[in-house]
Amino acid sequence: MKRTIKLNEHELYRLVNESVRSILNENVDYSEMWNIIDELRTVMSDEDIIARILSRIGPFQALKILEDIRNVEVPSNEDEE
């Protein structure tokens, strides 16, 4: 028996985006990055670390990344309908 799953555009986008990200990240070792973040946390706040990263990647790229994160993580009003 076949099951039909109905997804709105946002849900489909989120599903595809998460799947692609998990495939791309399967072979990435983040341990060195997290070690540096842990070291930075001894001398600065998480907010300061984020601010420094955002200032280095620039406002346009930072906005694009933040919008992407928001679109994946924050449910839209369409999801409630």
* Residue 8 CA neighbour count, 13 Å, CB half: 8
Determine, yes or no, domain membership for 79: no
Determine, yes or no, domain membership for 15: no
Determine, yes or no, domain membership for 68: yes
80, pLDDT greater than 70: no
Q: What is the pLDDT of residue 61?
A: 92
Rounded to two decimals, what is the model's pTM?
0.56
Domain carrying residue 49: 31-74
Domain count of the fold of the chain: 1
Determine, yes or no, domain membership for 11: no
pLDDT digits (tens, 9 = 90+) for 19-67: 887 777 777 778 889 999 999 999 999 999 999 999 999 999 999 999 9
**62 to each of 13, 18, 56, how far by Cα in Å?**
20, 19, 9
